[in-house]
Amino acid sequence: EGMPSELTFHWFCQHVDETLDINDPASADKILIPSKAGIHEEVADTTVNGCFGSGPGQLHLETSELSFDTFEVAALQMKEGVYIMSVVISKDTRSVVFQQTVTIIGGKTADVSLMCDDTVGNGCGGKKVNPQQIYSVMTQCNEFPDVCGEIKYAWELTQRVNGNEEEQDINNFGSFTEDVGGGVVYFEAKPDSLEELSTYIIRVSASVEGFMDSKTAIEFVTTRPPSGGTCAPDRPEGEALEKFEIMCTGWEDDDDAGNIVEFKNPSFTYFYPGQVIGTANRVLILPPGKEADDYNVEIEIQVADEFGSYATVVTPVKVTPKSGAADSLMDSLTSSSASNSLVSLSSVTSVVGTLISMDEEEEVEEEVDTSKSHSVSASNKNSI
């Protein structure tokens, strides 16, 4: 573009180890593929080295620009090595020659892989993924930093349905974050965007100048929360500071991995703190409910599998204030000291908090003389 129309251009190509005399008609007039008619024309004899498997010679091009991409070059047997591109620019009887070396890297792909982002911690231990949580994958480039920083990634998400892969719009499932300059791209699938008990495949194609495209993929299966079970207290009502046993039974897990039962109410006292693997019964001490709620207390329970997929159960129990709370507390203290049980001592600490909470409610709601209850609370705290 912008060149005077009276100029003519003749292009020549040779391997750096080959000889080409532009002024010798015997070699210079040999027309090489790709021709002007079609760059995808097949090479008849691919055993010859040099340009496009045809040796040295002239390209049938008369424009001021020569353009080809490395994938077409590879398909046309332009092997790995250094080539010299020459153009003779002529006007009337005058001419000038310009040469440019081009290095072709044959068959090498960028060393790029796709892996689970273990900083998120969902599914990185295997192929199972909890669709209720964020699932994150990341590219990993093992080339030189200057190469990694230039890589362009194309992402694809497919879902396997009845043995066939159905392409999905990956942008509907999550978002991308790029580590600028590091060649690392993160994809985070949003919670609840993936279907339960489904197989997904994420594919990534990496393109960078000087390399062939590299492709990598990661396949995973989503889980389903445990189902079909119940969790309920051993009785529908009782008094504060009494032990309630919560029984969870009948839960089914598609992976047969067992269930993890966890209570989510921070104000309760757990006689078996932490998570318990297996369908377990748990013993709690519950605070009294509010009179306005007819003393009902809601116990929130999560039943999960080893991948974190969970079902939530909320079960009510009626807990009325306990008379003679100080005597019950002293019994707990005596039992704890005698058994030297860390778990029991931990529970007694929460019992004290329950008593204090009960005292405060009595001050506000019942407007009675609280000097005695305060004295008991102080005495109890001193005893501890």
| DSSP character string of 302-356 | EEE-TTS-EEEEEEEEEEEPPTTHHHHHHHHHHHHHHHT-HHHHHHHHHHHHHHH
Reported as a pLDDT band with limits 50, 70 and 90, residue 279 is very low
At which of 280, 303, 320 does a domain end?
Answer: 320
Measured from the Cβ of residue 211, the count of other Cβ atoms closer than 10 Å reads 20
- For residue 63, tell me if it sits in a domain: yes
Same domain, 132 and 208: yes
Within this chain, do residues 48 and 23 fall inside the same structural domain, yes or no?
Answer: yes
Structural domain count of the chain: 4
d(CA 255, CA 262): 19
Q: Are residues 14 and 83 in the same domain?
A: yes
Token pair for 73:
């070059």
The answer, yes or no, to whether residue 337 has pLDDT greater than 60, is: no
Helices (H), ranges, 66-113: 70-75
Query: For residue 304, what is the domain's CATH number?
Result: 2.60.40.1080
Mean pLDDT of the chain: 73
- Residue entry with tokens 């209850």: 373
In the chain, pLDDT over 90 holds for what percent of residues?
14
Mean pLDDT score, 245-249: 84
Other CB atoms within 10 A of residue 121 CB: 14
Do residue 132 and residue 194 come from a single domain? yes
Domain residues for the domain of 215 are: 112-222
Mean pLDDT for the stretch of residues 199-218: 87
The predicted structure's pLDDT at residue 35: 41
Indicate the residue among 49, 82, 104 that finishes a domain.
Answer: 104
Closest CA to 282 of 257, 264, 297, 295: 264
Q: Are 238 and 254 in contact (CB under 8 A)?
A: no
- Which residues lie below 8 Å from residue 251, measured CB to CB, with a gap of 6+? 226, 227, 228, 229, 259, 279, 303, 311
Residues 136 and 58 in one domain: no
- Let me know whether 218 and 118 are in one domain: yes
Q: Rounded CA gap, 124 and 135, in Å?
A: 9
| Whole-number Å distance between alpha carbons of 344 and 205 | 58
User: How would residue 124 be classed by pLDDT, with cut points 50, 70 and 90?
Assistant: low
- Considering only residues 224 and 341, tell me which one the structure prediction assigns the higher pLDDT: 224
Domain boundary among 197, 222, 247: 222
Same domain, 331 and 303: no
Q: What is the pLDDT of residue 43?
A: 46
Does a structural domain hold residue 26? yes
**Both 127 and 207 in a single domain?**
yes
The CATH number of the domain where 213 resides is what? 2.60.40.10
Q: What are phi and psi of 103, to 5 degrees?
A: -100, 125
Does a structural domain hold residue 303?
A: yes
- Tens digit of each residue's pLDDT (9 = 90 or more) over 179-189: 755 678 899 99
Whether 1 is covered by a domain: the verdict is: no
pLDDT in tens, 11-64: 888 888 888 887 776 666 677 755 434 444 444 544 456 676 667 878 777 778
Per-residue pLDDT, averaged over 87-111, amounts to 83
User: Burial, 224: exposed, middle or buried (Cβ in 10 Å; 0-12, 13-18, 19+)?
Assistant: buried
Give the orientation angle of helix 342-365 with respect to helix 371-383, to 10 degrees: 160
**Are both 116 and 214 inside the same structural domain?**
yes
Query: What's 44's DSSP letter?
Result: S
Report d(CA 132, CA 360) in Å as an integer.
Answer: 40
More confident residue, 67 or 192: 192
Q: 78 with 160, same domain?
A: no
Q: Is the pLDDT of residue 172 over 90?
A: yes
Say whether pLDDT at 314 is over 70.
yes
**pLDDT tens digits along 215-238:** 889 988 898 888 888 888 899 999
Whether residue 12 is contained in a domain is answered as yes
Question: Is the same domain home to 283 and 200?
Answer: no
Over residues 124-149, mean pLDDT: 82
Place of tokens 């008369």: 62
Residue 372 confidence (pLDDT) above 50: no
